[in-house]
């Protein structure tokens, strides 16, 4: 019975859920894909060939049991499929929406490799969990018994929240501190709604609140509350603060009005989406409406900026990237979405300086790809004499993020960091140089992915539970 429903990849072609037309979706910040209808999800799941050695699973950072939940979906056993999918993933509906599947599970699907088009794993994962929420299958977190030990988590992004979920399920008292006024980290204020609608994140935060997780918001650790005070209050501490220092650009005019940082631009837009009062948006400083916008960078943050500018009603949107399309770090799927929505990519180009005050243009250097560097990646080289001027009223710099100097900011020089400024933590145990202090997510890995932060948070929770079980841990309180 089960077999008949599977292995349909030869007769059924790959289909994603319907994508809204580009001109329509450019009018709002709603997600661009609609939901699978149940029959379509079952049919698509049935394309899986049930590999004995599933490469999709091996390349999912959470090692999700993908073949099993695909088979159950194909058989119409949706609740069982959901139960299996949520067993290894704290936020499956979020990963289904925003994992770069082409680089992870789907990119390694054998059907994709054999030229039939991958099983649409992410879309099925999203469908299952959205269906579970609708049908009340997502159960409240109810620990069997409360424990006395408490853990303080600094940072309410996916790393901190995944750990909070796992620890609370074991009855641990959990307090999450965050400097923002809402939890969710970059899922709330970085990633735009057209990739991840905010109610999807909010319902998970609410689930944690209802489970008894305490959120202390508007609390900038190191400023409003000392790190040592948090250590003194809890039996263990988890640092999950992400990376927020914008990688700089040294060029004439970089500080002028109208040249802004991607994180400020995206945060203002997301805040506006929540209905907040955002003076920098209302004044036009962080609003692309009617402007000629130039975004600098080729990663996912740059893709989010260009597509946000389109939705804000920019007159034109150009993206400057110093390498070519094949060598950009951002997802090809997102580039295609941006192009459909009207973004113009100017490959092999980089800003040399900015003119005007406020900004009225970018001096652009043309580049070519030269010899590979030590990592094997071709280095961009300037083509002398080929500069030109690109008119711009708003320039958004999306050149990546670096960690803040936590040991200095928090007055804890004993907290060891790497030469890149990320926290030195054991990759398995997530322990740091300070006893009872653990660290996860981007602040350890450097700018990474939500799914890796979830994996870290889950593993760190196990490690913290082992630490709490040692008599010395609580005695040290
Ligand atoms: P964060 O999500 O950054 O959360 C850290 C939290 O710590 C924040 O809420 C912050 O306010 C808080 N904090 C920091 N310092 C302090 C302090 N001193 N005191 C109190 N609180 C503090 N990943 C994907 O998988 N898919 C995507 O599509 C994707 N798109 C992205 C788009 C953008 C624009 C950006 C910037 C990133 C994107 N990422 C994406 C990456 C992903 O968002 C991060 O890898 C992930 O959020 C890291 O999780 P985290 O928990 O380590 O940190
Ligand atoms: Fe794929 Fe991400 Fe889901 Fe893993 S968590 S199966 S990588 S979409
Ligand atoms: Fe199914 Fe593809 Fe995974 Fe094989 S690799 S189990 S075909 S989803």
CA nearest ligand 2 atom 4, residue: 60
Task: Give distance in angstroms: CA of 201 to centre of ligand 3.
Answer: 28
118 CA distance to ligand 3 middle (Å): 8
Ligand 1 mutation pick, 90, 450, 455, max ligand atoms within 8 A of CB: 450
Averaged pLDDT for residues 146-152: 97
Contact predicate 196/31, CB 8 Å: yes
Same domain for 53 and 125: yes
CA of 120 to the centre of ligand 2 (A): 10
Same domain, 293 and 198: no
Does 101 reside within a domain?
yes
- Cα-Cα-Cα-Cα torsion 148, 457, 216, 263, nearest 10 degrees, comes to 170
Ligand 2 atom nearest to 59, measured from its CA = 7
Compute φ and ψ for 41, nearest 5 degrees.
-65, -40
DSSP 433: S
The number of beta carbons lying within 10 Å of the beta carbon of residue 249 is: 16
pLDDT of residue 4: 64
Question: What are all long-range contacts of 408-413, with beta carbons under 8 Å and residues at least 24 apart?
Answer: 409/222, 410/221, 410/222, 410/226, 410/227, 411/222, 411/226, 411/227, 411/228, 412/227, 412/228
User: 288: Cβ below 6 Å to ligand 1?
Assistant: no
For the chain, how many structural domains are there in total? Answer: 3
Shared-domain flag, residues 252 and 395: yes
- Residue 114 CA to residue 345 CA, distance in Å, equals 31
Domain with residue 428: its CATH number is: 3.50.50.60
Q: Is the C-beta atom of 101 inside 6 A of ligand 2?
A: yes
Residue 416 has pLDDT above 70, yes or no: yes
Residue 143 belongs to some domain of the structure: no
* Mean pLDDT estimate for the chain: 94
Whether residue 360 lies inside any domain: the answer is yes
Please check whether residues 192 and 94 belong to one and the same domain.
no
Least confident stretch, 80-84, 111-115, 317-321, 454-458: 111-115
* 139 within domain boundaries: no
Whole-angstrom Cα distance, residue 31 to residue 269? Answer: 15
Distance 20 CA to ligand 3 centre (A): 27
pLDDT attached to residue 475: 45
CA distance 320 to 192: 20
pLDDT digits (tens, 9 = 90+) for 262-288: 999 999 999 999 999 999 999 999 999
Q: Are 271 and 357 within one domain?
A: yes
> 380 and 299 share a domain?
yes
* pTM exceeding the 0.85 threshold for the entire prediction: yes
The residue from 105, 134, 163 where one domain ends is: 134
E strand residue ranges, 99-193 = 150-154, 173-177
**Would 141 be classed as within a structural domain?**
no
Judgement on whether residues 266 and 353 belong to the same structural domain of the protein: yes
Task: For residue 415, tell me if it sits in a domain.
Answer: yes
Enclosing domain of residue 61: 2-134
Report whether residue 392 contacts ligand 2, using a CB cutoff of 6 Å.
no
Residues 219 and 236 in one domain: yes
**Same domain? 387 vs 259:** yes
**What secondary structure letter does DSSP report for 408?**
H
Of 400, 419, 451, at which residue does a domain stop?
A: 400
Query: What CA–CA distance (Å, rounded) separates 408 from 413?
Result: 6
- Pocket of ligand 2 contains residue 60 by CB under 6 Å: yes
Measured from the alpha carbon of residue 59, the closest ligand is 2
Q: Tell me how far the alpha carbon of residue 243 lies from the centroid of ligand 1, in angstroms.
A: 7
Residues 320, 227 share a domain: no
- Does some domain include residue 142? no
């Amino acid at each position: 019975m089960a077999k008949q429903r599977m292995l349909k990849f030869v007769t059924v072609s790959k289909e994603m859920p319907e994508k809204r037309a580009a001109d329509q979706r450019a009018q709002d910040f709603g997600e661009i894909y609609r939901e699978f209808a149940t029959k379509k999800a079952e049919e698509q799941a049935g394309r899986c060939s049930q590999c004995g050695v599933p490469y999709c699973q091996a390349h999912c950072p959470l090692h999700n049991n993908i073949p099993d939940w695909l088979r159950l979906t194909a058989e119409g056993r949706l609740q069982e499929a959901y139960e299996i999918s949520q067993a290894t993933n704290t936020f499956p509906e979020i990963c289904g929406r925003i994992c770069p599947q082409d680089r992870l599970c789907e990119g390694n699907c054998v059907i994709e490799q054999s030229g039939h088009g991958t099983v649409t794993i992410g879309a099925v994962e999203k469908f299952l969990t959205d269906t579970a929420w609708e049908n009340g299958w997502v159960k409240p977190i109810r620990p069997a018994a409360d424990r006395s030990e408490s853990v303080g988590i600094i940072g309410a992004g996916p790393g901190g929240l995944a750990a909070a979920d796992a620890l609370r399920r074991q009855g641990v008292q959990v307090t999450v501190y965050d400097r923002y006024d809402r939890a969710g980290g970059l899922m709330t204020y970085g990633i735009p709604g057209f990739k991840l609608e905010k109610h999807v994140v909010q319902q998970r935060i609410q689930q944690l609140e209802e489970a008894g997780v305490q959120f202390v918001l508007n609390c900038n650790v190191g400023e409003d509350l000392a790190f040592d005070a948090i250590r003194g209050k809890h039996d263990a501490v988890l640092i999950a603060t992400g990376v927020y220092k914008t990688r700089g650009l040294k060029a004439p005019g970089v500080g002028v009005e109208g040249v802004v940082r991607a994180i400020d631009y995206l945060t203002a837009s997301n805040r506006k989406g929540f209905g907040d009062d955002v003076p920098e948006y209302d004044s036009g400083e962080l609003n692309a409406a009617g402007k000629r916008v130039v975004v600098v960078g080729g990663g996912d943050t740059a893709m989010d900026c260009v597509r946000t500018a389109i939705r804000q009603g920019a007159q034109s949107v150009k993206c400057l990237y110093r390498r070519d399309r094949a060598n950009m770090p951002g997802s090809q799927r997102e580039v295609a979405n941006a192009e459909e929505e009207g973004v113009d990519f100017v490959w092999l180009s980089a800003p040399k300086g900015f003119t005007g005050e406020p900004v009225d243009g970018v001096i652009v250097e043309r580049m070519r790809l030269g010899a590979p560097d030590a990592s094997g990646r071709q280095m961009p080289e300037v083509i002398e004499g080929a500069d030109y001027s690109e008119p711009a009223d708003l320039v958004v710099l999306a050149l990546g993020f670096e960690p803040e100097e936590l040991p200095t900011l928090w007055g804890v020089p004993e907290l060891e960091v790497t030469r890149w400024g990320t926290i030195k933590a054991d990759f398995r145990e997530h322990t740091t140089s300070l006893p009872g202090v653990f660290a996860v997510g981007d602040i350890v890995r450097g700018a990474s992915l939500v799914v890796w932060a979830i994996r870290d948070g889950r593993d760190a929770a196990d490690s913290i539970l082992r630490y709490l079980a040692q008599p010395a841990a609580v005695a040290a309180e």
